[in-house]
């Protein structure tokens, strides 16, 4: 009896001790919040090195893109402690900074000698600064991203298609450099039979619920001359948002949607675009660069069958692309800010950034992207570099959400539902955006 | 047995506590038992309602906790009532509510009438008919989205087979004209069984002797239907219409899953607009005012309807 009691006590103590030890180990675990997508899996892999080096465990909270903003903005607005680190969307930076959700990183960067000059300038402005173009940093550029295009290289290189295309349009079938060329190629492939299957011209963003159609339409509008505001007078939008060229740009986007997209593609965003390309439905595919590593590896459409090109030029030769991507920030409501800052310091390291790129993440560090070997390191590396050099981003104001909702509605009403004209849509957008800024007391 | 247990509990109660309980009146005891429920109701229903009313007069935004909250008076209400887009959303809601109720009532009552004939295997068919309403709206929304898919969807192929139109041209969710009907079809498919159940209860409550008396008077089947079946089942039908009307007025899940309010704003019902304003644009004060307007509209209409229902019952 006595020995049984001793055994029981011993077992109980052992269980208690192991639980206590594991609790101590988990007490310092950091939770990193991000979207559920391929780069997040790469980050999980990368972060194992951080745990090895520091003993700090990493937990991850990944939410699908469709709920990403809702979920995490709710978390930040309610001062939740779920996330110690967050990779928040570029447009959140204004709101997160002004509402105190993110820790300001200037002092930390100075102390740890992390210089923003070491990062691609567009990513610093896009992901880290608020107010824009001022040295106030709220995030470390983490995941460079930009809208670009993939195309079916194998279809483009078929002699019979090349011949037919040249006869019809008078130029060689090749990745387009202008939007007019892009539309001609899309028209050429629309409803064409290839290998016994009907294929379509292009997959473009048309999603209504979150930000899809805005990201897609802006990708075209920028190169047509759209500007958010008068460069000399902030928030003056009349004649800039709804300029003649902007109207032409939006008309072009609608024409592309009407002529050359797969049937039923009226609510298509990143996932639907990838599906359309992977299933061999489309000749060209607009999407953020983060999708490229996955497509490159795809057995059916990847490898030699896929090619990449930068967003084409507009009618006046202007060429811009919609910025995507995010910076990593420390959440000001976290109790583990010190450990979270350790992660930022580790992540900013040159070797870690190089590994980040090799695993499928898009590094924003100059030493990685300006490495002479970088353009040839992946088939899509050059297109990514060229695209990052021409980026523009949506409003990053604290009121970005109502600004985005307005453009989603105006663009979808016109492009997909065919209601009104492009001029009506953009005039309406000026009205909506003016109202938002008036509500904010900025006009 | 029950008395013995009660006695045992009474004996086990400590004397000071027993004395206190003996001192409480029946009314007091009743209040003691229902007070937790009342407190819960106040906390999760009444307080949020009054809080929303208060917010509806302000410029409060839930994502700007540090901003000063200003009293706007009736400005939010004025802005909503003068907003063209809000009226479009209300029209879309009305269109959806009208057609779903009409179709569900007609089909539901017809099905109930057929089932009430008690033909061979009617119990089996009743169970089969009830299946759609047992499914989760999320599941229904997702699989109908696939059914409507123009390239692989069964629905498109069936329409194509019947009409000869190529399936890729049957774009139920992308076409401005068809998208509202796509949602009406799904809602009708899912909730007609519910209306059928209520109507069936109404039909089964009609005493058999009334029909026997009508038979004696040589009333035709048609006459029996118009003079007995329909009037006596009418309160049940009206009840079903009330339930479905309230439910469909605040319809969100199905629309969100099928079209997300699109194409454009063609299927943007009031609840989708409300969600966008409240949780995407973060206009908390404005959306509170909109919610109050919707609440008053539903509450007012339901009240008028219940009065009409009572009149029908009294006839």
Give residue-wise pLDDT tens across range A206-223. Answer: 999 889 999 999 999 999
Does residue A7 have a pLDDT over 60? no
Contact call for A99 and B64, based on CB within 8 A: yes
Q: Is B176 on the interface with A (CB under 8 A)?
A: yes
- At residue B151, the 3 state secondary structure works out as coil
> What is residue A420's DSSP assignment?
S
Option in B173, B256, B282 nearest A266 (CB): B173
Contacts of A294 (CB under 8 A, 6+ apart): A38, A274, A360
Residue among A80, A76, A81 nearest A95 (CA): A76
Contact call for B171 and A209, based on CB within 8 A: no
Retrieve residue A88's tokens. Answer: 């928040």
Chain B contact set for A77 (CB, 8 A): 62-63, 65, 282
Quick one: pLDDT at residue B285?
Answer: 96
With CA atoms as reference, the chain B residue closest to A268 would be B174
Contact call for A264 and B59, based on CB within 8 A: no
Note the pLDDT tens digit of each residue in A366-386. 999 999 999 999 999 999 999
Chain A contact set for B168 (CB, 8 A): 198, 263-264
Contact call for A264 and B264, based on CB within 8 A: no
- At residue A140, the 3 state secondary structure works out as strand
Domains of chain A, earliest start first: 28-145+325-392 (3.40.190.10), 147-322+399-439 (3.40.190.10)
Note the pLDDT tens digit of each residue in A124-165. 999 999 998 899 999 999 999 999 999 999 999 999 999 999
As a whole number of angstroms, the distance between CA A372 and CA A141 comes to: 21
Strands A58-63 and A321-322: unpaired
Find tokens 């109507």 and name the residue.
B199
Option in B62, B266, B283 nearest A417 (CB): B266
Chain A contact set for B149 (CB, 8 A): 264
- Strand-pairing partners, residue A421, are none
Retrieve residue A250's tokens. Answer: 């939006």
Q: What ipTM was estimated for this complex?
A: 0.81
Option in A70, A100, A401 nearest B66 (CB): A100
Q: Is B173 on the interface with A (CB under 8 A)?
A: yes
Contacts of A420 (CB under 8 A, 6+ apart): A413, A414, A428
Quick one: pLDDT at residue A209?
Answer: 87
Residue B306's Cβ-side half-sphere holds a number of Cα atoms within 13 Å equal to 8
Exposed e or buried b for every residue in A327-366, given b needs 16+ CB within 10 A? bbbbbbbbebbebbbbbbbbbbbeebbbbbbeebbbbbbb
Quick one: pLDDT at residue A10?
Answer: 53
Quick one: pLDDT at residue A339?
Answer: 96
Option in B65, B151, B281 nearest A405 (CB): B281
As a whole number of angstroms, the distance between CA A413 and CA A250 comes to: 12
With CA atoms as reference, the chain B residue closest to A401 would be B281
What residue ranges of chain B have pLDDT lower than 50? none
Q: Is B66 on the interface with A (CB under 8 A)?
A: yes
- At residue A329, the 3 state secondary structure works out as strand
Residues in A whose CB is inside 8 Å of some CB of B read: 69-70, 73-74, 77, 79, 95, 99-100, 198, 208-209, 262-267, 398, 401-402, 405, 409, 412-414, 416-419, 439
Contact call for A209 and B260, based on CB within 8 A: yes
- Strand-pairing partners, residue A35, are A63
- At residue A88, the 3 state secondary structure works out as strand
Region A27-42: mean pLDDT is 90
Of the pLDDT bands very low, low, confident and very high (cuts 50, 70, 90), residue A13 is low
Chain B contact set for A217 (CB, 8 A): none
Contact call for B262 and A412, based on CB within 8 A: yes
Other Cβ atoms within 10 Å of B194 Cβ, number: 18
Quick one: pLDDT at residue B147?
Answer: 95
Note the pLDDT tens digit of each residue in A231-286. 999 999 999 999 999 999 999 999 999 999 999 999 999 999 999 999 999 999 99
Retrieve residue B177's tokens. Answer: 């004209």
As a whole number of angstroms, the distance between CA A407 and CA A430 comes to: 10
As a whole number of angstroms, the distance between CA B172 and CA B263 comes to: 10
Domains of chain B, earliest start first: 16-55 (no CATH), 77-314 (1.10.3720.10)
């Amino acid at each position: 009896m006595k020995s049984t009691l001793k055994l029981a006590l011993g077992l109980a103590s052992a269980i208690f001790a192991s639980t206590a030890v594991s609790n101590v180990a988990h007490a310092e675990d950091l939770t990193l919040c991000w979207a559920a997508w391929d780069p997040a899996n790469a980050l999980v892999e990368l972060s194992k090195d951080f745990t090895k080096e520091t003993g700090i465990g990493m937990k991850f909270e990944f939410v699908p893109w469709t709920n990403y903003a809702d979920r995490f903005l709710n978390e930040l607005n309610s001062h939740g402690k779920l996330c110690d680190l967050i990779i928040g969307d570029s447009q959140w930076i204004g709101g997160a900074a002004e509402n105190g959700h993110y820790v300001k990183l200037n002092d930390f960067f100075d102390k740890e000698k992390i210089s923003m000059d070491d990062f691609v300038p567009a990513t610093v402005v896009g992901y880290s600064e608020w107010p824009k173009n001022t040295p106030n940093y709220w995030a470390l550029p983490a995941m460079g991203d930009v809208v670009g295009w993939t195309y079916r290289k194998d279809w483009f290189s078929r002699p019979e298609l090349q011949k037919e295309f040249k006869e019809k349009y008078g130029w060689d079938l090749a990745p387009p450099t202008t939007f007019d060329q892009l539309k001609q190629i899309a028209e050429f492939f629309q409803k064409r039979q290839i290998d016994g299957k009907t294929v379509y011209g292009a997959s473009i963003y048309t999603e209504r619920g979150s930000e899809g159609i805005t990201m897609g339409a802006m990708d075209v509008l920028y190169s047509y001359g759209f500007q958010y505001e008068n460069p000399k007078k902030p928030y003056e939008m009349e004649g800039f948002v709804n300029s003649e060229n902007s109207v032409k740009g939006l008309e072009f986007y609608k024409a592309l949607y009407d002529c050359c997209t797969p049937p039923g593609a009226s609510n298509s965003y990143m996932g639907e675009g990838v599906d359309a390309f992977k299933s061999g439905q489309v000749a060209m595919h607009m999407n953020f660069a983060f999708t490229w590593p996955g497509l490159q590896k795809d057995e059916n459409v990847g490898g030699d069958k896929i090619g990449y090109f930068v967003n084409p030029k507009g009618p006046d030769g202007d060429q811009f692309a919609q910025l995507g991507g995010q910076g990593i920030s420390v959440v000001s409501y976290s109790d583990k800010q010190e450990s979270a800052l350790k992660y930022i310091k580790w992540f900013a390291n040159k070797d870690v950034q190089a590994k980040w790129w090799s695993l499928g993440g898009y590094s924003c560090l100059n030493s990685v992207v300006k490495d002479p070997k970088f353009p040839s390191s992946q088939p899509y590396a050059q297109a990514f570099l060229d695209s990052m050099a021409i980026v523009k981003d949506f409003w990053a104001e604290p009121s970005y959400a109502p600004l985005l909702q307005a453009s989603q509605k105006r663009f979808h009403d016109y492009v997909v539902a065919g209601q009104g004209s492009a001029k009506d849509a953009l005039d309406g957008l000026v009205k909506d955006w003016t109202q938002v800024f008036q509500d904010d007391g900025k006009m | 047995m029950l008395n013995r247990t009660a006695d045992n509990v009474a004996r086990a109660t400590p004397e000071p506590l027993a004395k206190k309980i003996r001192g409480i009146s029946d009314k007091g005891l009743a209040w003691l038992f229902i007070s937790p429920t009342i407190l819960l109701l106040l906390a999760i229903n009444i307080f949020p309602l009054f809080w929303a009313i208060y917010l509806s007069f302000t410029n409060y935004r839930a994502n700007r906790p540090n901003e000063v909250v200003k009293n706007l008076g009736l400005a939010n209400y004025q802005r909503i009532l003068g907003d063209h887009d809000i009226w479009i959303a209300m029209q879309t809601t009305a269109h959806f509510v009208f057609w779903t109720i009409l179709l569900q009532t007609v089909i539901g009552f017809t099905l109930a009438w057929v089932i009430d004939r008690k033909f061979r295997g009617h119990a089996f068919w009743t169970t089969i008919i009830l299946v759609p309403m047992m499914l989760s709206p999320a599941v229904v929304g997702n699989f109908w989205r696939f059914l409507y898919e123009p390239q692989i969807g069964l629905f498109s192929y069936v329409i194509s087979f019947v009409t000869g139109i190529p399936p890729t041209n049957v774009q139920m969710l992308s076409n401005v004209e068809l998208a509202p009907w796509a949602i009406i079809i799904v809602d009708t498919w899912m909730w007609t069984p519910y209306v059928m159940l209520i109507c069936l209860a109404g039909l089964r409550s009609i005493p058999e002797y009334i029909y026997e008396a009508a038979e004696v008077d040589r009333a035709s089947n048609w006459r029996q239907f118009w003079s007995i079946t329909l009037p006596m089942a009418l309160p049940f039908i009206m009840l079903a219409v009330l339930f479905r009307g309230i439910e469909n007025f605040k319809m969100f899940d199905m629309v969100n899953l099928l079209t997300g309010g699109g194409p454009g704003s063609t299927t943007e019902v009031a609840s989708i607009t409300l969600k966008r304003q409240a949780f995407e644009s973060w206009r908390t004060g404005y959306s509170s005012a909109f919610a109050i307007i919707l609440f008053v509209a539903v509450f007012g209409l339901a009240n008028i309807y219940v009065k009409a229902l009572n009149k029908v019952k009294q006839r």
